[in-house]
């Protein structure tokens, strides 16, 4: 008896659900260019994103070129004002550059090996 009642309640619920489904159903909406409009907006966004950085670099470069040139000129004038003795010492280092580079490489490799051994 109880199971019959449960079945009846289930059937009633099913009928109600089916009825609600039919009430909530509506005709499919025709695309009518909707998807094309979305894809077009998408394309526009993608291209705006792609072009923003190069455009900003171009504009920034155009704006910055004059002050940058002035900075270079000022820098070169400052270099002329620096005493010549200061350039002698670095010039002497240049001949020993391969040895310095080799020592640096050995040092880095040594440190990395030590770390690997530790791990």
Partner 1 sequence: MLVAQAVSVQDTAAFGELIRRHQSQVRNFLRKLTGDLSAADDMAQDCFLHAWNKLQTFTGRGSFIGWLLKIAYTTFLQSKRKSKRYAEILDEAGYVAQTESRSYTPRQDEISDLDKFLAVLTEDERAIMVMSYACGLSHREIGDATGLPVGTVKSVIFRGKEKIRKNFDIKDHQYG
47 binds partner 1 (CB under 8 A): no
Smallest distance, partner 1 to C-beta of residue 84, A = 58
Measured between its terminal Cα atoms, the distance across the chain in Å is 74
Half-sphere exposure of 110 (CA within 13 A, CB side): 6
Q: Which of 19, 47, 87, 102 binds partner 1 (CB under 8 A)?
A: 19
Compute the CA torsion angle 85, 89, 91, 97 (nearest 10 deg). -170
50 binds partner 1 (CB under 8 A): no
Judged by CB under 8 A, which stretch of 30-38, 56-64, 80-88, 91-99 contacts partner 1?
30-38
Smallest distance, partner 1 to C-beta of residue 45, A = 7
5 binds partner 1 (CB under 8 A): no
**Angle at the Cα of 80 from the Cα atoms of 76 and 81, rounded to 5 degrees:** 115
Euclidean distance between CA atoms 13 and 99, whole angstroms: 89
Smallest distance, partner 1 to C-beta of residue 81, A = 55
Number of residues in contact with partner 1 under rule CB under 8 A: 27
Number of other CB atoms surrounding residue 95 within 10 Å = 8
Residue whose CB is less far from partner 1, 43 or 87? 43
Tokens coding 51: 């072009």
Interacting residue ranges for partner 1, rule: CB under 8 A: 12, 15-21, 23-26, 28-31, 34-39, 41-43, 45-46
């Amino acid at each position: 008896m109880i199971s019959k009642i449960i079945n009846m309640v289930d059937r009633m619920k099913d009928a109600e659900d089916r009825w609600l489904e039919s009430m909530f159903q509506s005709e499919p909406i025709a695309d009518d260019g909707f998807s094309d409009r979305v894809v077009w907006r998408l394309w526009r966004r993608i291209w705006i994103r792609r072009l923003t950085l190069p455009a900003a670099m171009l504009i920034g470069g155009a704006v910055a070129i004059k002050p940058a040139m002035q900075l270079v000129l000022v820098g070169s004038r400052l270099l002329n004002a620096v005493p010549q003795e200061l350039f002698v010492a670095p010039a002497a280092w240049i001949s020993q550059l391969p040895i310095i580079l080799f020592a640096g490489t050995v040092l880095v490799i040594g440190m990395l090996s030590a770390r690997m051994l530790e791990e």
